[in-house]
Amino acid sequence: MDLRRLTSFLAVAEEQHFGRAATRLFLSPSALTGHIQQLEREIGAALFHRAPVRLTAAGERFAQHARGLLDAVNAAMDDVAGTTGTAEDTLRIGVMAHGSAELTPAITGAFARARPHVRLVFEQLTFTEHLTALLAHRVDVAFVRPAVDDERIAVDPLTREQRIVVVPARSDYASAGELRLADVLDLPFVTVPPHTPRPFTDYLYFMEARGGEAPHRSPDHALTAHDVLTSVAAGRGAGSALSSFARYYPWPGTVCVPVVDAPWDHSVLATRAHDPNPSVRLFRALARTLAADFPEQELRSGTRPSSSSSRPGTPSPPAR
């Protein structure tokens, strides 16, 4: 049973309000509602009356068990922590997809050499988690994209890279060599969950170039780069990324094509603002130092169109 769903359930039970519980947990209302619905399906019973919000009889009984389960988990974690040292002896590192390219292992390696006594724990982040994992204290630092403007989060830009799209190898786009925004805005991009943070959806769908128009969506949903590539290889959609994506995900049936007139974007290291943890401060300092010498990343395409035309004449969208 997912402990996050238990936490969401108890927050709603205590607040008797979905909105206040979502704010308390730094979740979107839709994400919290999804946790409750998944838990109710798993248990096979309604846990709340919705108007007004209050526990059902099943919810009252389950609340007692849920509190006991979370208490037991917390006690176990405290017991183990007591044998391994303080919280500052562990640094939890969140990584979305391939993080900040070659800088991700370079920074973690430099930190490990500087602080060999600190245990490093890696957690793979989905597209929805690059803020919530930090704010919920599940990770201490996070390699994510794009940069976010949130007073609760400190951001250190690490790489600056060209934007690309990932398309099926059999589509006309794949042989174009390079594309422009006008070519790609009608692609059926993979669909991400509704509670995905707005900065990431704006980045994924090139929203700044759309003039307020909603993107076309693939029938497939994605939480990770693996999900995107599976959909693209099947000819059911397209994805977008930074140029380093092509080096890390040479996926059969897919091609990465640069979007030459799209603004370049950053991968970043995100941390909680004003985090006093000395390990976090050192990790940020090492990241900034190594990033200063990291070159800007442009996708080198082996197939380029002639100089008279930088876009395909009549591109066919990927099969849906």
CA 192 to chain CA centroid, nearest Å: 10
Residue 71: band (very low, low, confident or very high) from pLDDT cuts 50, 70, 90: low
Percent of the chain residues past pLDDT 70, beyond the cut: 88
Statement: residue 240 has pLDDT above 70: yes
**Can you tell me the distance from the alpha carbon of 146 to that of 143, in angstroms, rounded to the nearest whole number?**
10
Amino acid 313: pLDDT: 35
Mean pLDDT of 161-180: 95
Could you tell me the pTM of the whole model?
A: 0.68
Contacts of 187 (CB under 8 A, 6+ apart): 165, 167, 173, 216, 237, 238, 317, 318
Q: Are 130 and 157 contacting, i.e. CB atoms less than 8 angstroms apart?
A: no
Distance between CA atoms of 174 and 169, rounded to whole angstroms? 5
Mean pLDDT of the chain: 86
Which range among 103-112, 178-187, 248-257, 299-308 shows the weakest confidence by mean pLDDT?
A: 299-308
Percent of the chain with pLDDT over 90: 64
Q: How confident is the model at residue 75 (pLDDT cuts 50, 70, 90)?
A: low
pLDDT digits (tens, 9 = 90+) for 224-234: 999 999 999 99
Q: Is 50 exceeded by the pLDDT of residue 88? A: yes
- The yes-or-no verdict on residue 266 having pLDDT over 50 is yes
For 166, the token pair is 């990932």
pLDDT at 298 over 80: no
Q: What is the pLDDT of residues 97-147, one digit of tens each?
A: 999 999 999 999 999 999 999 999 999 999 988 788 999 999 999 999 999
H helices of 54-180, in order, are: 57-84, 103-114, 132-135
Structural domains for the chain: 3-84 (1.10.10.10), 87-160+265-291 (3.40.190.10), 161-258 (3.40.190.10)
